[in-house]
Amino acid sequence: MERRQFVFTLLLAVLGSGCARSSLSDNEDGDSESDERPDPSEDIFVTVSNRRSQRVVAGVVVLESRGRGSVITERSVLLDPGESTAIYTGITSPGDYPYEIYLDGELAFEATYNVGEFDVETGSNIDIGIEPDELDIGAED
């Protein structure tokens, strides 16, 4: 948990220093898991939409299936009002994947995404709508 808090604190510090946009890599080393580019129509993403009237820093953490707890995706983005982004999850096989959503560095939501063979084949996504007073969470088939 300390590592995640550090990541979001670091991002907030960078944003506070005048940098307009920033994001963190998908893994600890800053390298992609693969050289292939994810395809939104076939791979599994978390889509985050800012429906608030102010900027928000949104973070997504996806953990490995089967209770191993290793982070497979950890990313945070700055979203302007009305802006959306798709974050590749790194999920490539069926299983139950715990995930966490952070807003401005604070844990806002956590759940487990049950990924079936259909989801892997068709690229089902998790949709997160950041509303003024709540999060709207859904799944796209």
User: Mean pLDDT, to the nearest integer, of 67-95?
Assistant: 92
Kindly state the percentage of the chain with pLDDT values over 90: 60
User: Mean pLDDT, to the nearest integer, of 57-65?
Assistant: 94
Q: 96 to each of 18, 64, 89, 104, how far by Cα in Å?
A: 39, 8, 13, 26
Strand partners, 73: 62
What number does CATH give the domain 2-27+40-140? 2.60.40
| Residue of 64, 58, 32, 56 lying closest to 46 (CA atoms) | 58
E strands in the chain: 45-50, 56-63, 71-79, 84-88, 95-103, 106-115, 125-130, 135-140
Could you report the per-residue pLDDT of 104-114, keeping only the tens digit for each?
999 999 999 99
Give residue 30's pLDDT band: very low, low, confident or very high (50, 70, 90). very low
Residue 51 pLDDT exceeds 70: yes
Q: Give the per-residue pLDDT at 65.
A: 80
Q: Give the per-residue pLDDT at 2.
A: 52
Q: Give the per-residue pLDDT at 42.
A: 83
SS3 category, 92: coil
**From edge to edge, which strands make up the β-sheet containing 71-79?**
71-79, 56-63, 95-103, 106-115
Give residue 68's pLDDT band: very low, low, confident or very high (50, 70, 90). low
Domain boundaries, the chain: 2-27+40-140
Q: In whole angstroms, what is the distance from residue 67 CA to residue 47 CA?
A: 24
Strand partners, 136: 129
Strand partners, 139: 126
Q: What is the pTM of this model?
A: 0.72
Q: In whole angstroms, what is the distance from residue 47 CA to residue 68 CA?
A: 25
> Bigger pLDDT: 19 or 66?
66
Residue 83 pLDDT exceeds 80: yes
